[in-house]
Copies of this chain bind each other. A is one copy, B any other.
């Protein structure tokens, strides 16, 4: 008898009917002989509705209270799920993040999991109960206040619990069948990837593939918990995320998949004095605003000379999540005089396409094929960034679909059948 941690997102528990269906799936796993810990998000639009309520009483609600409010969402879904399982004749008990021992930092709205002390969960499992845990939430180690984990928090909860309980597998239920070679909504013959390493999954997730959150994969990799990505609408077997690149067989496929991201913006700082320390000052400012940059390019080709001071000038561009755009622009504008750059440009009509594959480490020709495919598709490349197992470019957002299709075809990633796309969005 093993232990399975399952995570169900908000769309999987959106109403009473879906909750009952999830209960049936959990009971089926239980009947097959495994203990189950199920992590759930809030039902459907509950979180948005609660945020709306908060905004009705306060334009800028304090983080502690917003977390207290939002955690009511999972409390509702987890209790209902436990009731539905009970109704099928199985003992089930729900636990808040705090009760489940999910210990976090005290940064409200985006706390990080520091530790998991699952004593109560272990006790309930030992007594034969199915355990339901609220995703997305925990309790701050120092203040003992309730926290939320921010984006991808429920996936992170599942991976952290799986690690702490030494589960055999962490199943992430979503609205697609698994990890695909590209978004099936863009590439009709995208193929499901049956097995994929943590590293590749991390790169895909970081490049905009929505199926798994980076935090979840990081946790699973650190504690070597296999992640099984599956559809909550079918019984198909899905994708297994496991193993590191070192364990890969030699005949490993060159390329795993193509990811894309429409959620980034590009900021260009024009006319920065090309002197040691200036770039540092700029990125310290952005980091001070707690903004995570993605790609950074110093456009050496655009170096000019300031006619007044005869100092050499350069342009620096970087990408960041669109939601952080206003904060970053404000912070940068404040240091314009001190640094002495000429202008700040903001562009959110950009898209990013990335090619990920563990096999590309030993194949230097990959980038060339990638760029050639984009060129043939008439896609203009604005920025480039690479890692050991990834090549990414920024292009116009209007070129993004064409870019994804061209790259997917160039590396012959497609399967024979059309990929199935389900309605709804995952969380």
Contact = CB atoms under 8 A, between A and B. Distances in A.
Contacts of A54: 79-80, 83
B94 A80 contact: no
A300 interface: no
B68 A50 contact: no
A75 interface: yes
Contact of A53 (B16, B68, B120): B16
A69 B62 contact: no
Contact of A57 (B20, B75, B93, B144): B20
A16 B69 CA distance: 14
A76 interface: yes
Interface in A36-65: 50, 53-54, 56-59, 61-62, 64-65
A19 interface: yes
- Chain B CB within 10 Å — which of A71, A82, A99 has the most? A82
| Copies of this chain assembled into the complex | 2
Given A82-B65, A83-B66, A76 B53 contact: yes
A64 B93 contact: yes
Contacts of A75: 68-69, 71-72, 75
A241 interface: no
A62 B86 contact: yes
A67 to B, nearest CB: 8
B57 A68 contact: no
B79 A65 contact: yes
A65 B124 CA distance: 14
A56 B86 contact: no
A78 interface: yes
A18 to B, nearest CB: 10
Nearest to A95: B68
A84 B57 contact: yes
A133 to B, nearest CB: 12
Contacts of A305: none
Contacts of A82: 62, 65, 68
Residue from A54, A56, A68, A78 with most neighbouring chain B CB atoms (10 Å)? A68
Interface in A256-308: none
A83 B61 contact: yes
A20 B76 CA distance: 25
Given A61-B86, A68-B79, 16 more contacts: A16-B53, A20-B57, A53-B76, A54-B79, A57-B81, A58-B87, A62-B86, A65-B86, A68-B78, A68-B82, A68-B94, A69-B76, A69-B80, A71-B75, A99-B144, A120-B144
26 contacts: A16-B56, A16-B57, A19-B57, A23-B57, A57-B87, A58-B84, A58-B86, A59-B87, A61-B86, A62-B83, A62-B86, A64-B93, A65-B82, A65-B83, A65-B93, A66-B79, A68-B79, A68-B94, A69-B80, A69-B83, A72-B72, A72-B75, A72-B76, A75-B75, A99-B144, A120-B144
